[in-house]
Structure 1
Amino acid sequence: MSQLSRLISILTLLRSKRLLTATELADKYGVSVRTIYRDIRKLEEAGIPVYTIEGRGYSLVDTYTVAPVQFTEQQANALITAQHLVSQSKDASFVNEFNEALTKIKSVFRTSIQEKSELLNDKILVFNWEREEFSSNALSEIQLAITHFKYMEINYQKADDPNITFRKIEPCAMYSAYHKWILIAWCHLRQDMRAFRIDRIQHYKILQDTFEDRKFSIQEYFATCPFDGK
């Protein structure tokens, strides 16, 4: 990561949290504490109102803001609650992208809203009693394949089947059930729409070739096909 990218990221974090230590920042970016000191000085020289709370860390003055968007406390609470629900997802890429997005959103919270949202964050717990060894790290890339109409090649393993099959598919939509993400796609092997659990995709490749939009409707799909979350 370049220094400029790190400075922008540090500023975003400072705007999303009330207090950050140099050690926390150094650990996050894999740099020395001395480097963080230099980064903070760069921000100060650029006119960013960073101030140091002796023995505690860095913060921004309460009046500092660069965005006109304001959130109510209820809206902020909804986002904090959503973060706890998203954390139960079995797809690491989805959880990571959501957390990064939420960090940016929290950067425009007023200080009073930040305080309340941090308080609520410590008072929410979501249990997931259904434990499985299966997980995935492909959801974010598959979402791009859906919106850009990109072909995918996958190696797929069905439940209770030791065999892995190769499929070329046209990803059309997805849904979540029982903490699992299911991809609905046109399968060239079966010449029909099929549902694929993303955590059962052993390997995938998104091709540069695009397919024609089939105008797929997930609502119509569920009106004619049985629900399958397995």
Structure 2
Amino acid sequence: MSQLSRLISILTLLRSKRLLTAGELSRKFDVSVRTIYRDIRKLEDAGIPVTTIEGKGYSLMEGYTVAPVQFTEKQANALITAQHLVNQTNDVSFATDFKEAMTKIKSVFRTSVQEKSELLSSKIFVFNSNYENISSNALSEIQIAITNFNYVEISYRKANDEQVTFRKIEPYAFYSTQHKWILIAWCYLRNDYRAFRIDRVQNFKILNETFEDRKFNLQDYFQSCPYDENNHSTLL
């Protein structure tokens, strides 16, 4: 049994209002007690309120319920496929948040749908001939800054340039091309809109200070800005 299947099974047992010990779970799933401890931490990290009762075992916090949502097999397959595509973005924060969200979503899959979705997952392969081994870890945080209109400070390194520059920006929109995430933001250093590759952001800080929305429109931006050799907006 895969770890995901075991996590969902443990959650299902806990939802039945049973009080379960690590020993019981280890025997049931034929794994070590240490593995069960890690599984419980995984559930807690995913936001599931597992309560530890000293000397007695684990249970779910009283009142916790999983939303009565049902997915068809095709809908589940679409989510599984999306997860494989998300993993190609090379942004650790985004991939991690999506994985944790999928753990929660899969907890409400019917058993038959869960089994088939895992089978499909093992049969999906995504190849990228233009792969660059450059990762980022800023996408999820900057997404929050966009929707809350928070200023962001970044240290940024342009393509083919070792120099790192400091920028204060107003983040407005993202788009993806060739498995790379591009941020469009108002840059105070250039006093204009600029496009930043997220994987070239060396460091960033989300400020508590908020900015006034400039009513940025991505379509208008593409129509008015210069283009690079790949027919995308100019990248720094």
**Partners of 2:105 and 2:55 in 1: CA distance:** 23
Residue in structure 2 matching 1:43, options 41, 59, 82: 59
For structure 2, the 5+ residue unaligned runs are 1-6, 13-27, 43-51
- What is aligned with 2:178? 178
Work out whether residues 172 and 216 of structure 1, in 8 Å CA contact, stay in contact via their aligned partners in 2: yes
For residue 40 of structure 1, report the CA deviation from its aligned partner. 8.7
**Partners of 1:212 and 1:223 in 2: CA distance:** 23
* Deviation per residue, 1:129-152 (Å, 9 max, x gap): 323232110111100111110111
Higher relative contact order (Cα pairs below 8 Å, separated by 6+ residues): 1
TM-score of the pair, normalised by structure 1: 0.76
Output aligned runs, 1:2-81, within 5 Å.
14-15=11-12, 21=31, 22-28=33-39, 29=41, 41-43=57-59, 66-81=66-81
**Partners of 1:195 and 1:13 in 2: CA distance:** 45
Work out whether residues 70 and 108 of structure 1, in 8 Å CA contact, stay in contact via their aligned partners in 2: yes
Q: Across the two proteins, how many residue pairs are aligned to each other?
A: 199
CA 76–11 in structure 1, closer or farther in 2 if over 3 Å, else same:
closer
**% identity of equivalent residues:** 60
RMSD: 3.2
- What is aligned with 1:198? 198
* Partner SS, residue 181 of structure 2: strand
| Residue 119 of structure 1 pairs with residue 135 of structure 2 | no
For residue 222 of structure 1, report the CA deviation from its aligned partner. 1.6
Work out whether residues 8 and 106 of structure 2, in 8 Å CA contact, stay in contact via their aligned partners in 1: no
Work out whether residues 13 and 107 of structure 1, in 8 Å CA contact, stay in contact via their aligned partners in 2: no
Work out whether residues 151 and 170 of structure 2, in 8 Å CA contact, stay in contact via their aligned partners in 1: yes
**Partners of 2:174 and 2:56 in 1: CA distance:** 43
